[in-house]
Amino acid sequence: MVGSEALASPRQHGVTKPLSLAGPSEADLVRTKKLNKFLVDAGLYESKEEAAKREKVLGQIKQIVVEWVKELTRVQGYSDQMVEDANAVIFTFGSYRLGVHGPGADIDTLCVGPSYVNRDEDFFFSLHEMLTKKEEVTELQPVPSAHVPVMKFKFEGISIDLLYASISRLVVPDDLDISDVSVLYNVDEPTVRSLNGCRVADQILKLVPNVEHFRTTLRCLKFWAKRRGVYSNVTGFLGGVNWALLVARVCQFYPNAVPSMLVSRFFRVYTQWRWPNPVMLCAIQEDELGCTVWDPRKNPKDKTHHMPIITPAYPCMNSSYNVSTSTLRVMTEQFQFGNRICEEIELNKAQWPVLFEPYMFFECYKNYLQVDIVAGDPDDLRAWKGWVESRLRQLTLMIERDTLGKLQCHPYPHEYIDPSKQCSHNAFFMGLQRKQGEIIQENQQFDIRATVDEFRHSVNMYVFWKPGMEIFVSHVRRKQIPLYVFPDGYKRARVPRAMNHQPVCGPGSAEKTGIKRKDEGHVERESPQRRKSISPSPIMSLFMSPQSHGSVSPDMYSHSLISGPEPESNFKSEEVGLIGCSSGSSIVTNEEVGPEKTSLVNGNNSQESSEEDSQSAVDKLSGDKIQAMLKPGWF
């Protein structure tokens, strides 16, 4: 039987009452069946054989860490009984713990050990050395300087992200309750962050009304986010735990809804959510152990967060602090796209595959930044790429800062490889556009050469830098995008906008630029031997007279990453554009300003509201009146 009365939820989930207790109609059940079939056909579920292999690998890792702890206990002179009792426990978190992992996904794991086995000397050295001797272990990469220190490797081909937490116990029992707050006694901040992954995953599963509906919906929306280019915490979008929290909150809003309903309600809610009002699954626990909890009333830094998504386990933190104004803008546009398609699906005007059409990133902007990184060998590139990728968000923030938010960046969370290059290579891209609604002033330009130099300098401070690790930042126009970024090796014919379901991409792509520039595509880079890019070296730029170009140091040479004519140093006085920098040259681009095509949700920090009290956020849609549960006090 379907309907709200038969499926009414017996208790409240979350900090507010549900928005609707309605159950599914027959049409909703049919759409859910079609959605499940689509997810299966898309290959999002692993086979029984792969699932069994993962369990086996986790068991082998458990044996290794127990052996490691017993050996350290013996070396440190503890009694034979202590050596016999010595133990370490393996927990999982992330997509694997939540039950939404797919084929080939990594396993987020946490090793919990006793107080006398520490992270710096023991985990990253003695355990690292032990793993290097295992034939099953490949691509071992320790990242001790990460916000959450991690050791990455593959075990029999399965990717593992292994964290370590040393708790205040001499013996760690196999039945350790990691949800108990006592595991946080007398531990440092990195340990708290390491433990919180597991604690948050357990809390999420406890706080949703229907775990299976939550899992199906989350699996669907993670796939959607990857297809639409908004799945990446490190780049400034949202990662796995962020999407899980957003989906869990919608499950609380609609406790009796089935997955097709939840997907539709997800876009309906977050298209019109008034950020920076926080998304919370439960009330924020008060300070118990002296750990810092998210509270913009006490912590000024928390007021700067654009899209707070709060973890439900103590200490409650904002899991989405990486989000910037630019990435929030992109995600809002994608939520609007999803909402529009779901409305069509509910009206039987579209089918589920339309929702998952890939985002045509290289069709949506006229100007891009291309970040090329190279290294001497694949192992060096893996480490170098991880570092550079973790810094790309800073480039977005720097450009926003130095242009006062008038130049918007869209970092694309995909990496590309140029197969024609002899060295190990990766490339990342960012779309650039003027902020919508900005009035063009005569001769106004965005000079981001110093910004790019600052970024390159920060990247080159990598403590594990090796010869051959280089980074090159260049500006490219849409028509100069290298062919290797396209799946089939060539650019597809552009789809007329009236026939395409893509959201409005921005003024640069919708309107024809009125002023053409002559110096497209030329990029110069420095000799690899001169990696100190921040030193004041001569740069051919629009701020130098043509005669001054002869003063360029003879030990610099140019290398064109993008084919094109030589740049010219003068331009028409009426041109308005962006001055981009690749080491050794400057580039001018021009964009017209189009009308505002999307209205972002109000993000005024002076707005006093939270998710604990009723205040209407949106209009009535399809029979449901969505309310953001907001109360004065947060901002």
State the catalytic residues.
Answer: 95, 106, 108, 161, 222, 231
* Residue 361, both tokens: 């990133």
Residues 6+ apart with CB under 8 A from 545: 569
User: How many CB atoms sit inside 10 A of residue 533's CB?
Assistant: 23
Nearest-angstrom CA–CA distance, 392 and 136:
33
Assess whether the previous peptide bond of 276 is cis (omega < 30° from 0): yes
Query: Which amino acid type is present at position 116?
Result: Y
Query: Which amino acid type is present at position 444?
Result: Q
Nearest-angstrom CA–CA distance, 480 and 492:
14
Cα distances from 523 to residues 70, 291, 456, 469, 520, in angstroms, run: 57, 49, 16, 19, 9
Nearest-angstrom CA–CA distance, 567 and 582:
12
* Residue 579, both tokens: 């001055």
Report the DSSP beta bridge partners of residue 155. 137, 158
- Helix/strand/coil percent split, the chain, to 5: 35, 15, 50
158-166/107-113 β-pairing: parallel
**Cα 13 from chain centroid (whole Å):** 28
Q: For the chain, how far is it from start to end, CA to CA, in angstroms?
A: 45
Report the DSSP beta bridge partners of residue 627. 616
Assess whether the previous peptide bond of 315 is cis (omega < 30° from 0): yes
- What is Dmax (Cα atoms) for the chain? 83
330-350 burial by CB neighbour count: b if 16+ within 10 A, else e? bbbbbbbbbbbbbbebbeeeb
Cα distances from 225 to residues 230, 243, 273, 469, 551, in angstroms, run: 5, 9, 18, 31, 49
* Residue 601, both tokens: 């949700």
Nearest-angstrom CA–CA distance, 622 and 47:
38
**Do 7 and 23 touch, CB atoms closer than 8 A?**
yes
* Secondary element (H or E) of residue 200: helix 189-207
398-437 burial by CB neighbour count: b if 16+ within 10 A, else e? bbbebbeeebbbbbbbbebebeeeeebbbbbbbbbbbbbe
* Secondary element (H or E) of residue 153: strand 150-155
Nearest-angstrom CA–CA distance, 338 and 344:
10
- Which region holds residue 187: left if phi is over 0, alpha if psi is between -120 and 50, else beta? beta
Nearest-angstrom CA–CA distance, 464 and 286:
40
**Do 280 and 250 touch, CB atoms closer than 8 A?**
no
**Cα 155 from chain centroid (whole Å):** 25
